[in-house]
Amino acid sequence: MATHSHQRPTRARRSVVALVAGGFALTAAALPLTACDPGVGPTTTTTTSTTVPAPALSNVLYINLQSGREDLHRVNMAFQMARGQRALGRPVTMFFNINAPELATTSLPEALKWRDNDPIKTQLAALIESGVKILVCPTCSADQGVTADQLVSGARMANPQLNAAELQPGTVTMSY
C-alpha cells in the first residue's frame, strides 16, 4: 500500500507522565490526538487517566561513617550532623564501617577527641541517648578485631535486613 506524504493518521496517541509536586502523585494519561483526513468526518476521542499515589518517603538521614582515628575531624563532623538533625526531630541512623567500628567500642580512650570538642566517646553516648541508631559493619569490625560484645550499649552489628530497613525510598545518605 502506497503512502502519500499528505496523508495523516486520523488518530495518534501519546502518553504523558507528570509528577504532581503538591500531592506527590504520578499521573499517566493517554491523550488521543486527532488530525483531519480528507473525506473523513470527526473522530471520537476518549481520555483515560490513572492516578497512582507515590510511595511514602522515608525521612531517615543515614550517615555512612568510614573514618576513624585517622581523621577525627570527619568523625566530629558526622557526629555534629547527626546531632543537629536529631535535634530537629529527624530519624538518624549511623553506619560505622571501614575504619569507624573501633569508635563504637567500650575500650575507646576517654580522651580521644577532635580539637576542643567533646570526646568521641561522650558524643557517641549523647547521640545514642537522643535516639540515633548505631549500626556497625561486621566485616569491617572483624578486620579490626572488634566483636559484638565490645560495642557500647546502644550500638549493634549490622546485617542486610537492618540496613535494608533504614535504606528506604527517600532516605538521605551522607558519607564521612
Separation CA 117–CA 85 (nearest Å): 18
| CB-based burial label for 123 (10 Å; 0-12, 13-18, 19+) | buried
C-alpha cell at 78: 558526622
Closest CA to 63 of 116, 100, 110: 100
Give pLDDT, residue 53. Answer: 78
Given a cut of 70, whether residue 136 has pLDDT beyond it is yes
Given a cut of 90, whether residue 176 has pLDDT beyond it is yes
Give the DSSP H/E element, type plus range, for residue 124. Answer: helix 120-130
| Per-residue pLDDT reduced to its tens digit, 2-37 | 545 555 444 443 333 333 333 333 333 333 444 444
Give pLDDT, residue 168. Answer: 93
Residue type, 172: V
Q: How many alpha carbons lie under 13 Å from residue 48 in its C-beta half-sphere?
A: 5
Least confident of 30-39, 91-100, 158-167: 30-39
Q: What is the pTM of this model?
A: 0.70
Residue type, 125: A
Separation CA 172–CA 57 (nearest Å): 10
Q: DSSP string spanning 55-122?
A: PPPP--EEEEE---GGGHHHHHHHHHHHHHHHHTT--EEEEE-TT-GGGGBTTS-TT--STTSPPHHH
Q: Which residues fall within 8 angstroms of residue 78, CB to CB, at 6 or more apart? A: 63, 65, 67, 94, 174, 176
